Chains A and B, each alone.
Chain A
Amino acid sequence: MSGGAPGATLDRTEPEAVPEPDASATSSAPPATRRARAIKTAGLWLAPVMIALLALLFFLYYRGLQADGNSTVISALNWGDKLLPQTIRIVYIAFWSTVIVILVAVPLGIVLTRPAVRRISPFILAVANSGQALPAYGLLVIFLGIMGQGRFTVIVALSLYALLPVLRNTMVGLDGVDRSVIEAGRGMGMTKMQALTRIELPLAVPIVIAGVRTALTLNIGMATLAFLIGGGGLGITIQTGLKLNQDPILIVGAWLVALVALSFDWLGAVAERVLKPRGL
C-alpha cells in the first residue's frame, strides 16, 4: 500500500483527529494543491532555463574580459589553471559535506523522534545548535588546529555547520505526520518499522529535503571560505578581486558560485519531486 491517498481519507473518518500543528501536508484542499503543483512544475522547468541564461551571460562577460582585461585579470581568471579547479573543488566540498550531513542527521533525527529516546533530544539539538552558533571562520580555524589544512578539514567543519537544518527538519517532518495515520497503519498489522518506512518517512520527505536543500546552499556559500585554511575553491578568486580592487575578478568568482548554488538547488527541487510520494 502506498501511504498517501488512503491516509488522507482516514484522516477525515478517524474520530481522534488530533489537531497536529504540522498536519497541513496531509490535509490541504485538492484545488489549491493542484494549482500550487502547477506553479511548482513550471518552476522546475523554468529554473534550468534561467540558469542556462545566466551561464550564457557569464560566458559572454568572461570572453569580453579575456579580450580587453588587463594582465592581472587575465591571470586571475585563467580557466584551466584557476577557475575550473576551483569550481570543481567547491562542488566537491559542498557535495561531500552534504552527504555526510544526510548520513548523520537523518538517522539521528529518526532515532530522536522515537518515544524511547525522546527525552535526550533537547541535548543533541543543543550540540547541533552550537555548531551553527559559532562563526564559520572560527569553526574552520578550530578544525584547522585539530586536523591540519586542506579540503577534508573543510568538509568536516561544514558538515557540523550544516547539521542543524537537516536534523531539525527531519524531526519536525516526522513529528508532523498525523498520529492517526500511523495508528491506522499499526491497526492494519504493520510493525513499528513498517510504519516508519512506509508511512512516516514518505510523508516527512518534503520537509526533510527542504532541510537538505538549506544545508546544500549553506555549504556552497561556506565553501567560499575554504581557501582560508588551504581548502581551495572559488573563494580564492573572490578574495583576489577584493584585495586587488579588481571588480571583474570579484564578479566572475561570485557569479560562478551563484551558478553552482542555483544548479544544486534545482537538483534538490527535482529530488524532492521524485522522492515525494504520489498523492501529496
Chain B
Amino acid sequence: MRNHKRLIAASLSVAFAAALAGCGGGGSGGGSGSALDGVKLTVGSKDFTENILVGEMYVQALQNEGADVTSQTNLGGTSVARDALLNKEIDVYPEYTGTGWTVHLGNEKPSQDPAELFKVTSEQDIKDNDIAWVGQSPFNDTYGFAANGDLAKEEGPFDFDSMAAYLKANPDTTVCMETEFPDRPDGLVLWEKATGYKIPQSQIQILDTGLIYTETSDGKCDFGEVFTTDGRIQALNLELVEDPGVMILYNLSMTWQDAVYQEHAETYKTLADEIFKDLDEEKMAELNALVDVEGQPVEQVAKKYLEDIGLL
C-alpha cells in the first residue's frame, strides 16, 4: 500500500519537475546543481499557507540540486505533521521553535531569545527523538493582536498595555479571537499576565479564524487575535498591536529525521539558510498575501522567491 502511494507520488513529482523544467527557461544560469543526484526525499508541511509556502520552497530548492523529491506539503495540522516525521513517513517539514519547545517536548516557560530557544529546543529534540533542527527564520510568526485601522488612527498606535487600558476604559468594546485562544498556555493568558487586565467574557467574542480578520477590518471587532505574519494584516484595514516581547517566539526551522539529514547535512543546511536569510516578518507577510489575498498558486510564489534570492 505504502509503496503504491510512493510510486504515485514519485511519478507525480517527476511530472511536476518536468513542468518546472518546461517553464523555467527564464531563470538565467541558476544552473541545476547535482549535489543530491539520486537522493530520494519526502518533504511535508502543515496545512496553512505560510508552512506550505516554505515547504514548497524547500521542495523546489532540493529538486534544483538534483534530488528526487516527493512533495507532501499541506499534510495536516501540527500533530499530523509531527507524527508523520516521527514515523518516518516524511523526511522533513518546517516547524516553529515555540511549538517544538512547548507542544512536542512538553516544556514550559520558553526563552524570549530566539537563538537561545533554538539551541535548547534542538538539543533536546535530537537527544530524545533523533530530530534535527536546521536553520532558523528571522520572522517570528506568533500570536498577536490587531486593532481596527480606524480605531488605531484615532487612538494612536497600540501596544499591549495601551490596548488593555483602552479595553478597561471602554467596556462595550470587544476582542475577537479563535475558539482555543483563551485556553492555550501560549495564548491569552500571557497577554493577561503581562498587562494585568483579565478580559471579561463580555468583551470576548469567539469567531471562526478566517472571519476575525474581516470582522476586525470592518470594525465589528475592535481588536482581533491574529498571526503576526498573516498577509491580510497588510491587505486589510488592520494595525498590529505592538508586542513588547510577551508572546512566545515562533521562528521557523526545518525539522529533519536526523539519519536522513546526516547523509547530506551540509547541502541541506545551506539550502535552508539561503531560504530563511531574507524571510523577515514583512517579507513573509508579503508572500503570504500573494497567496491568500491575490490568489497566486503556492508553487509560483515559492519559485519567484527562490529566483529572487538567486537559489534557482
Contacts and interface: CB of A to CB of B under 8 A. Distances in A.
B178 A71 contact: no
Contacts of B207: 149, 227-230
A103 B45 CA distance: 51
A244 B182 CA distance: 11
A72 B211 contact: no
Secondary structure dominating the interface of A: helix
A149 B78 CA distance: 29
Contacts, number: 55
B206 A230 contact: yes
Nearest to A71: B185
Secondary structure dominating the interface of B: loop
B205 A85 contact: no
Interface stretch (A161-169, A206-214, A235-243): A235-243
Contacts of B183: 72, 75-76, 240, 244, 249
A235 B180 CA distance: 11
A149 to B, nearest CB: 6
Contact of A75 (B77, B176, B182, B206): B182
B11 interface: no
A245 interface: yes
Contacts of A75: 182-183, 189
Nearest to A245: B79
A92 to B, nearest CB: 16
Q: Interface size for chain B: under 10, 10 to 19, 20 to 34, or 35 or more residues?
A: 20 to 34
Interface string A71-115: 110011000010001000000000000000000000000000000
A76 to B, nearest CB: 4
A138 to B, nearest CB: 13
Contact of A240 (B79, B180, B189): B180
B201 A149 contact: no
Contacts of A85: 201
B294 interface: no
A227 B179 contact: yes
Interface centre among A85, A227, A232, A243 (most CB of B within 10 A): A243
Nearest to B218: A148
Q: Interface size for chain A: under 10, 10 to 19, 20 to 34, or 35 or more residues?
A: 20 to 34
A205 B220 CA distance: 44
B180 A244 contact: yes
A245 B220 CA distance: 30
Contacts of B176: 230
Interface string A237-258: 1011001110001000000000
B184 A72 contact: yes
B206 to A, nearest CB: 5
A239 B201 CA distance: 18
Interface string B216-255: 0000100000000000000000000000000000000000
A230 B208 CA distance: 8
A245 B79 CA distance: 8
Given A149-B207, A227-B206, A229-B211, A236 B184 contact: no
A280 interface: no
A244 B211 contact: no
B215 interface: yes
A140 to B, nearest CB: 9
A252 to B, nearest CB: 12
A228 B180 contact: no
A147 to B, nearest CB: 11
Contact of B185 (A72, A230, A235, A237): A72
Contact of A144 (B79, B201, B211): B211
B178 A243 contact: yes
Given A75-B182, A227-B179, A230-B176, A236 B206 contact: yes
Contacts of B180: 76, 239-240, 243-244
A162 B206 CA distance: 24
A81 B220 CA distance: 23
A229 to B, nearest CB: 7
Nearest to A235: B179
A237 to B, nearest CB: 8
Contact of B206 (A72, A232, A244): A232
Contact of A244 (B184, B189, B201, B205): B184
B178 A229 contact: no
Closest 8 CB pairs of A and B: A76-B183, A239-B179, A240-B180, A243-B180, A228-B208, A75-B183, A240-B179, A236-B179
28 contacts: A72-B183, A72-B184, A76-B180, A76-B182, A76-B183, A81-B201, A144-B211, A149-B205, A149-B211, A149-B215, A149-B220, A227-B207, A228-B207, A229-B211, A230-B206, A230-B207, A230-B211, A230-B215, A235-B179, A236-B206, A239-B179, A239-B180, A240-B179, A240-B180, A243-B180, A245-B77, A245-B79, A249-B183
Interface of B: 77-79, 176, 178-180, 182-185, 189, 201, 205-208, 211, 215, 220
